[in-house]
Amino acid sequence: MNLAFLFLNVTCCRRFKLAYLMSIIPAAQDDDQAARTKATKLEGRILLAVLIGLVCWGLSIFTWGVPGLYIPALALVPVMYVLLILISRG
């Protein structure tokens, strides 16, 4: 009789734990989906900013020729220097 009670108790506990875990999993998946959506939006904004910068640089080359090519590149040297320092520091 004790063995039957023990088996019933373990079975009920397993069912309760399984139901509890199943109720937690969708919340964790929603959090993961929200984090991925936020990261995707950030990546999209960065890509859009880079694309707009390249288009503006191309328009300056089209408008002013060779000075439109090298003056923006020369102006971005300090920016690249700072970015390289930030990357190397981690």
User: pLDDT of 38-88, one tens digit each?
Assistant: 778 899 999 999 999 999 999 999 999 999 999 999 999 999 999 999 999
Q: What is the pLDDT of residue 40?
A: 87
Burial tier of 60 (Cβ tally within 10 Å: 0-12, 13-18, 19+): middle
Q: If we measure between CA atoms, which residue out of 57, 51, 79, 80 comes closest to residue 70?
A: 57
Note the pLDDT of residue 43: 93
CA gap 16, 9 in Å, rounded:
11
Q: What is the pLDDT of residue 28?
A: 56
Direct distance between the N- and C-terminal alpha carbons of the chain, in angstroms, rounded to an integer: 64
User: Is a pLDDT exceeding 80 seen at residue 2?
Assistant: no
The answer to whether residue 9 scores a pLDDT higher than 60 is: no
- The domain limits of the chain are 2-89
Tokens of 78: 């300090």
Angle, helices 66-75 vs 2-64, to 10°: value is 130
Query: Does the reported pTM lie above 0.85?
Result: no
Q: What is the pLDDT of residue 44?
A: 93
